[in-house]
Structure 1
């Protein structure tokens, strides 16, 4: 009876009956790792974003006739744990390639691992410039605008103000250090007489905000550049407000306009700060409107920037597989180089030169509306317009 069944299936196939697409193969597994427990404010919306993308890709028929499946793991927020998790995803789970990571130091560790294993790695969130420039490699690509790029987007406003005495406060790890270096370099290039009167490097997640705010106040700066985010930012804002630190002082802060970090400030939101962020409720482009409607229908909540990052990362992974036509690592890497696809922020391209995507960011100022923090006077800056020259990048980036 079994023999007749097998012969019958064979005869049916020979007669032109085709089994459903992907029937002979399981889903394409993509390994995702991130610091979910350490950075929940960003990464819980991020997870929802990639879940929505997976649902949409599979509803449209998947890729290469197969559904995609994300195998997700928490990387503990440390480089060592992340490398161990990445190895487990490849060896035990047999994933096709890797995506994800949040902190810059973790992203760099996984990028180096991907280079050693010759495996595609799409870095979703780590903002360090090194991941595509100084320590860039053939197998690593990065989605978000880097610290250099987002800082460059703020520089025109900083230059216009012509403030000479600057204070700097940042989280003391790769991201904060990189952002500070970029800001000083870019501002000094356009305003040589600028002076940095004080720098405060705070341990990530452990800022002594009162002492930091007082030290900056004592230095009497004309302006402040900050790359604080999350609870560190909230504590700094609270202590600064109490000391009237921001009164008559211009403040620039990377990331403070992202809903993840802006919403908790509520009526403590300082007015007039220059920030990068995501004014989700006011963006009226067709691409964003479509994403917003789908996200709210599925989750009964509004998106955060993490939602955009998670969604766009999976859409990039799916687009790369389609373009490659296979799961061979070298074909996937070639497919990522120059890959173009849509995101809720519009179309982006993954640059062959440095593997940086051209996803941009929204730049504006903070204000309060109905007791909540909002972005005003905002504009979208395309990532391609906030990069160093190609020659500068070639000098920084090692050969693959």
Structure 2
């Protein structure tokens, strides 16, 4: 069968470091041409229909909002607030990393931004306080994976667009797995903190300091409350919330915190354009890929190949989880979403699994790949900041990845954990 050869070719091209957008477009065009289908009409139409989505406008808007907030002075304020809350607990700075990652997740929706911002500020402090370098860097990397899970999440937006699933439902479902990841890492960090006597020596708590720190951080903390609250309550859509996020971030960064100057906006917009263009180019290529796999009825043929597994949702989810865990170590998260959503979503829906449930499984699974060797991108971001080699992290990295996999299993096989809030708001 030609499509099997083309899917294998796709992964060969990925291993050879061909950009995934080009690889998907190439194998799709070969498949379309081999079936004697009109390329000139179907390929442009597929690309246009793929990116011609009101919901997709949320992607550059949230990227822009994240860039503004990252430059707008909120990073240190959030870290100071987190440090005051949990600094006195054993492993306090480790808990600051995790709580700050939760805050950043609700602001930027990306793991790399959180890893870079938190790593740049907390790695020197943690090492100065005597924290093990491998523990410090591995924790910052794994905690950053909360970013694509807690809304607003670019990964969930892309999945929702490709699979035609409600973005609001995905956002509501993303909270609990994100918090479960944070809780698991907190428990591990407290254990390591007690074992190694990691305590911040100069941290004291007073209500005066608490309210001062809260005053500094409150505007940053209010942004996710406004955005997510508005989406859940139905006041505005995910795309409209992106517009609100941009204006809110601009007002806070320029007029209140006064950390952003007008000349800085050019660099912010340029970075946003580069990031967003790459994502939208991927979506356009994915649209051709989706057209081709639907033309060939590949999801149906995959179900026939899997046989009995396709009739057992639990076994099917296990097989797909294993495939995604392996693929996630080699393919970046956004690219993996564009490849695997059109392949697996129809199979999952046919097996009776809620597409919202599968979207969260997909997101949690692929974010684990961001901290799994050999190509875990967050590992390289943090290692470059700390100026150390990635293997230094392995001793503490594997228990932390084990915690994330445990959360993945809970999300996969106890769907009520994430679906009950969705059902409440439907």
The reply to whether TM is greater than 0.5 is: no
Higher helix share: 2
Higher strand share: 1
Q: Computing the radius of gyration over CA atoms, which structure comes out larger, 1 or 2?
A: 1
Give the TM-score normalised by structure 2. Answer: 0.29
